[in-house]
Structure 1
Amino acid sequence: MDILSLIGIIFGLFAILGGAVAKGSSLGALWNVAAFIIVIIGTLAATLVQSRQAAFLHAFRIVLWVFKPPKFDARATVARIIEWSQVSRKEGLLGLENFSDTEQDPYIRKGLQLLVDGTEPMILRQILESDLDNREAFDLQGAKVFESMGVYSPTLGIIGAVMGLMAVMQNLADPSKLGHGIAAAFVATIYGVALANLLFLPVSNKLKSVIQARINYETMLLEGLVSIAEGENPRHIENKLNGFLQGQ
């Protein structure tokens, strides 16, 4: 569980709800059905028009990474790579077959199988980099779905406010309705700006950081596997991979 994301959501809600109460408003004043329809449904509609179906669905599969990002132990993986390199130097690349058969991670299993098959280092790098680049691009498309929502929702909030003010202008003859009407008009702006800055954009950026962390981890794996294919000394491989452990 990413506790920072949970704390951030709680603080965001407190900032809006607590701020409204502190300003002398009521929590009920923040609820408006028309504003909800305009901002939420409108933002969703704009995002659907922009996004590919696969990317849109993927966005809601990976959104859980904000609270529960994929786990990987880079230091333990470096130790495993060193073990593989030592085995390959003693028994040859075919000695890695047992590791390949029992490996749970699809990316590692594919890399080990390519080593066992005697794939040339350059070809090995090309295959693994292709997998890495394609997965990164697809994951980033998912993250950008929420980024798009963060771009559209403030504009939809302004549209909702303008539409609310139009309704107020139609009731100028009845001053008793003006205050309530104007307040309701600006609820849409609150929805749009608050959702963009407290939810959609932070979620997008958090997903991008998680994706980048995983890419760094898998790049480390790639370099380790290619180094084994090239027959590098295990100590040299360890020194090279330790550079990826900064910030872990």
Structure 2
Amino acid sequence: MSSILGILLALLAVGLAMVLKGASLSALYNPAAYIIIFGGTAAAVLIAFPFNEIKKFPALIKIALFQPKLPSKANQITSLVQCAEVAKKEGLLALEEIANTTEDPFFKNGLELIIDGNDIEFIEEVLLDEVAAIDKRHKTGALIFSQAGTYAPTLGVLGAVIGLIASLGNLNNVTKLGHSISAAFIATLLGIFSGYVLWHPIANRLKRISKQEQEAKLLIIEGLISIYQGLSPTALEKKLSIYIPPKERLKNEKKNKVETHDQTA
């Protein structure tokens, strides 16, 4: 929701600034400028990227505006500690029941690799390769928006030039000339606005979401490898707690103490 709020705030700021400067908001109604900027940006992106990557554009917009809820790191650590407890008491093969019930495909794949008895180097390599593949896909998606943000301002200059060429036909009419010059720079405004308030920020948003997702998967890899090596549940919890901010870590410790007290009472 913060992305939508940011876009609305940017529109409000630009609109308010135009009013305070004495510019009419009606000047923004310039179909030609919108065609040059958004149509031109779309054309440039289509030239730069294959269609199988471009078709993901709507899904990427949805991800950026409505960030998918990632699993809590605290909950992930709790799940991994539970796996360590099961493995310690019943052996690694007992993790099969957890693997069959988990909804996280990455976590399930890691558990299955352990259950199948693969060596630790192979398990780590497979899981890290999957993270690398995810990173590559996400970078491609973010690059589409980064490139759009690069093209849009330049197309704004192109739109201004086209508008100024059109205004030369009104040199004998001062009123029309002023209106034509004003309209010419609307394309520049739209190009800069869309490039630096929409496309570049969305690219950065996607990169941040990708980083958070990869961090969650690296936590799982760390936990699974430690379970395979026979690390105790208590030691595993302490080892993985570095992934949680200090304040949240303290909160979880207090919560665990309360739960332990309730169970022993």
Moved more, 96-105 or 53-62: 53-62
1:134 aligns with 133
1:214 aligns with 213
Matched ranges for 1:184-195 at <5 A: 184-195=183-194
1:235 aligns with 234
- 1:63–1:207: 8 Å Cα contact kept in structure 2? no
2:13 aligns with 15
Moved more, 209-218 or 61-70: 61-70
Distance 2:34 2:238 in 1: 55
Moved more, 215-224 or 60-69: 60-69
2:260 aligns with none
**Structure 1 residue 227: Cα displacement:** 1.2
% of aligned pairs identical? 34
2:159 aligns with 160
1:70 and 2:71 aligned: no
**Structure 1 residue 125: Cα displacement:** 0.5
2:25 aligns with 27
2:182 aligns with 183
Moved more, 192-201 or 68-77: 68-77
Q: TM-score, normalised by structure 1?
A: 0.94
Q: CA RMSD in A?
A: 1.4
- 1:103–1:109: 8 Å Cα contact kept in structure 2? yes
Distance 1:102 1:74 in 2: 19
Distance 1:234 1:56 in 2: 45
**Structure 1 residue 140: Cα displacement:** 1.6
SS at match of 2:56: helix
2:257 aligns with none
1:58 and 2:56 aligned: yes
1:91 aligns with 90
Q: TM-score, normalised by structure 2?
A: 0.89
SS at match of 1:170: helix
In structure 2, relative to structure 1, the CA distance for the partners of 1:66 and 1:238 (3 Å cut) is same
2:109 aligns with 110
1:245 and 2:257 aligned: no
> Per-residue CA shift, 1:22-42, capped at 9, x if unaligned?
211222111211111111100
**Structure 1 residue 60: Cα displacement:** 2.5
Unpaired runs of at least 5, structure 1: none
**Structure 1 residue 122: Cα displacement:** 0.8
In structure 2, relative to structure 1, the CA distance for the partners of 1:141 and 1:18 (3 Å cut) is same
